Amino acid sequence: MPLKYLHTMVRVKDLEKSMAFYALLGLKETRRYDSEAGRFSLIFMAPPGQEEAPVELTWNWDGDDELPSDSRHFGHLAYEVDNIYETCQHLMDNGVVINRPPRDGRMAFVRSPDNISIELLQAGDALPPAEPWSSMENTGNW
């Protein structure tokens, strides 16, 4: 029986903040569905050229107080990047906390405004260790 990946859904509290976060990662809005009757919006965001692998941001217009505070029940989203150091620096420059710095030149973790853990993986071989990443401590949970 064939299986085809469709998307990963995460619920968000602040649509603008969440969309801005995923845009910092390089994702673009690919489609949107607004339900007047259900009072919710579904915004699909994906890396350019990878529209078949989106993350679906589900936003309830009247708020969503049921989101857990730590989101650890979810696991994480993972994205491959061309240069993990440049990506992490770009995120830090825009106010994103690097929870698990890329000390090994290969892997880092950050969190979305909705506390979704995002894993960043270096494409190909790990980059040589470099400062400030090599000596940077973890911050919070990842």
Whole-number Cα distances in Å, 53 to 3, 44, 56, 118: 14, 9, 10, 15
**Cα–Cα distance, 131 to 139 (Å, whole number):** 17
Tokens found for residue 70:
């730590």
Q: How many CB atoms lie within 10 A of CB 106?
A: 15
Q: Pick the catalytic residue: 36, 51, 52, 119? A: 119
Residue pair 35/12 in contact (Cβ under 8 Å)? The answer is: no
**Cα–Cα distance, 22 to 119 (Å, whole number):** 13
Catalytic residue flag (residue 16): no
**Catalytic positions, written as ranges:** 119
